[in-house]
């Protein structure tokens, strides 16, 4: 499984909503819709989904988001399908492995 590209900017590790769309085989417009429709607090949204933009191949500036680990987790836990299920299992297994080490 190829993971979304992570970036370290301003003391924060994030991935872009574009990378998330590619990773889960979703259209970017649907990722944007999912972010906008999350039922979490305004504070959580502001801390974990930073509005951003990118330039498409035609030169247009389009909306995107920089997403933190917590934002990624919150958003991806709502996804369905094989890739989402595989990611959720891997996430749970990582926690279980860490617990065994403690």
pLDDT at 23: 85
Strand partners, 67: 15, 49
pLDDT at 90: 81
| Interval 49-96: pLDDT, tens | 999 999 999 999 999 999 998 998 999 889 888 888 888 888 788 778
> Given CA atoms 82, 86, 1, 54 in this order, what sign does their dihedral have?
positive
pLDDT at 3: 61
pLDDT at 37: 95
Degrees, nearest 5: CA angle 12-18-24: 105
Tokens of 87: 């990611």
pLDDT at 2: 57
| Interval 29-53: pLDDT, tens | 999 999 999 999 999 999 999 999 9
Give the residue-averaged pLDDT of 3-16. 78
Q: What residue segments make up the domains of the chain, in order of their start?
A: 7-101
- SS3 label, residue 98: helix
C-alpha dist (Å) from residue 79 to 60, 62, 86? 28, 23, 11
């Amino acid at each position: 499984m190829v993971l979304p590209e992570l970036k370290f900017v301003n003391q924060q590790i994030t991935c872009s909503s574009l990378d998330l769309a590619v990773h889960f085989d979703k259209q970017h417009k649907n990722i944007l819709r999912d972010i906008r429709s999350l039922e979490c607090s305004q504070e959580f949204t502001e801390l974990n989904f930073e509005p951003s933009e990118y330039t498409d191949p035609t030169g247009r500036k389009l909306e995107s988001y920089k997403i933190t680990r917590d934002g990624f987790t919150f958003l991806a836990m709502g996804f369905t399908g094989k890739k989402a299920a595989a990611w959720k299992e891997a996430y749970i297994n990582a926690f279980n492995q860490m617990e065994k080490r403690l």
